[in-house]
Structure 1
Amino acid sequence: MQFVAFERSKQGTGASRRLRNTGKTPGIVYGGSAEPQMIELDHNALWHALKKEAFHSSVLDMELNGQTSKVLLRDVQYHPFKQLVLHIDFQRVDEKTRLHMKVPLHFSGAEESPAVKVDKCLVTPIVTELEVTCMPADLPEFIAVDLSTLQKGASLHLKDVKLPKGVTAVVRGSDRNPALVSVVPPAAEIETPAEAAPAAEAKGKGKGKK
């Protein structure tokens, strides 16, 4: 994805407020060998770009002063209740340096799985994005996760997912193979044991009467 940015000369709260009043959003680009650079973007164009998943998880082409450079979206500050972007941060991308990014997971095939189609289980994603490390050229827009083979009583874990070439998952904590999707039996099966207990208790009390 490509977007256009412009140099921003004035800094400070007052300057940023005046900038927003003219339909612009203040931002900054940092990283790499160059100094941090203050920028501004057209707010409406930025607002629509931020609605696209790829804008958050892809290497972006930023056009500034007639030159294009590779950047990543790193932070967005929104107004608490207005549809307004207050500030945005981008990081320059070095094509020879590995990236750490969170990539969206796209789940498909759950309705065709034996867990859902046969056993009427409830399939629920536990996470919707995965932290990965890779070279910029290998960064995927998303990671596809096929759920069509899910079985009752078996959740889907990280090692069950085939990652794109050159992409490695970043796992934190002691669990090296975390669950990504849970498979829960039908509600009727879960409620049955709880319902059976009071009935059995009542039956036992009845036998004790003379």
Structure 2
Amino acid sequence: MSEAITLTAEARKDVGKGASRRLRRADLVPAIIYGGEQSPAQITLAGKAIRKMLQTDSFYSQILTIEVEGKKQQAILKDVQRHPAKEIAMHLDFLRVDADHALTTHVPLRFLNEDICVGVKDQGGAITHSRVEVEIRCLPANLPEFIEVDMAGVELGNHIHLSDLTVPEGVEFVAMLQGEGHDLDVASVQATRATKGDEESGEAATEEAGEE
């Protein structure tokens, strides 16, 4: 479990593109907190702190505590608008969470045992990731920081789907709520060019032996 994250913010009354540009020149990041029974709140955050958080995986899936002028509220990060050429945040969107109400959000997938995957190590294939995050629905208390995908036993040509993953109690995949036809592909082990070449050579040799 990652360490809890608390962000200190200031209320922002001056809005608009011009105001946002002035904030960024002062190394501040404009943001908004919305959702719940409270009205949306415009805030600013320290640019240095946000640059650090953007490099922390748990920032994207953990329930955050945001303190605005002494008042704390819990929220999750819903969107980051980044500069097109620089690794900086231009604007952040946070969604308030309520302990009694389910939330819908994306969490990252953590792929395990890729180095000992049967389909790669013994059968010459390569792992393909169909997605790196999944959308889930759960109460805030059940929110996982990530969902593990164990690749150890996956053989060449096989796939892992959402239904193959183990999730904490109370966590549901949004896609699966739509029915069995939405059991999305997560990862697979596919043949490489070298593998296909070996297979073709083997088939050719078998055919030649049969002709003899």
Tell whether the structures are fold-level matches, with TM greater than 0.5. Answer: yes
Alignment partner of 1:134 is 2:112: no
Residues 110 and 150, structure 1, Cα contact 8 Å, conserved in 2: no
Residues 121 and 184, structure 1, Cα contact 8 Å, conserved in 2: yes
- What are the superposed Cα offsets for residues 11-53 of structure 1, whole Å, 9 maximum, x if unpaired? 1222222121111111111111111111011011111111211
Structure 2, unaligned runs of 5 or more: 205-212
Number of the residue aligned with 1:182:
188
1 CA distance for matches of 2:199 and 2:121?
24
Residues 7 and 65, structure 2, Cα contact 8 Å, conserved in 1: yes
**Runs of 4+ residues over 4 Å off in structure 1:** 192-198
Residues 95 and 137, structure 1, Cα contact 8 Å, conserved in 2: yes
In terms of mean alpha carbon deviation, does 124-133 or 14-23 score higher?
A: 14-23
Number of the residue aligned with 2:197:
191
Alignment of 1:25-174 (within 5 A): 25-171=29-175
The amino acid of 1:65's aligned partner reads: E
Residues 103 and 141, structure 1, Cα contact 8 Å, conserved in 2: yes
Change in 2 beyond 3 A, CA 1:77/1:149: same
The amino acid of 2:149's aligned partner reads: V
Alignment partner of 1:9 is 2:9: no
Number of the residue aligned with 2:207:
none
Q: TM-score, normalised by structure 1?
A: 0.86
The amino acid of 2:186's aligned partner reads: L
The amino acid of 1:19's aligned partner reads: L
The alignment partner of 1:55 has SS state of helix
Residues 116 and 122, structure 1, Cα contact 8 Å, conserved in 2: yes
Residues 20 and 30, structure 2, Cα contact 8 Å, conserved in 1: yes
Change in 2 beyond 3 A, CA 1:10/1:115: same
Query: Higher Cα Rg: structure 1 or 2?
Result: 1
The amino acid of 1:125's aligned partner reads: H
How far does residue 174 in structure 1 lie from its aligned partner after superposition? 7.2
Residues 29 and 47, structure 2, Cα contact 8 Å, conserved in 1: yes
2 CA distance for matches of 1:135 and 1:197?
54
How far does residue 61 in structure 1 lie from its aligned partner after superposition? 0.7
Structure 1, unaligned runs of 5 or more: 199-210
How far does residue 140 in structure 1 lie from its aligned partner after superposition? 0.3
2 CA distance for matches of 1:16 and 1:60?
23
Residues 131 and 187, structure 2, Cα contact 8 Å, conserved in 1: yes
In terms of mean alpha carbon deviation, does 128-137 or 8-17 score higher?
A: 8-17
2 CA distance for matches of 1:85 and 1:112?
37
Residues 115 and 121, structure 1, Cα contact 8 Å, conserved in 2: yes
Q: How many residues align?
A: 200
- What are the superposed Cα offsets for residues 49-85 of structure 1, whole Å, 9 maximum, x if unpaired? 1121111111111111112210111121122213432
How far does residue 192 in structure 1 lie from its aligned partner after superposition? 5.2
Number of the residue aligned with 1:208:
none
Change in 2 beyond 3 A, CA 1:83/1:114: closer
In terms of mean alpha carbon deviation, does 26-35 or 9-18 score higher?
A: 9-18
Number of the residue aligned with 2:208:
none
In terms of mean alpha carbon deviation, does 95-104 or 163-172 score higher?
A: 163-172
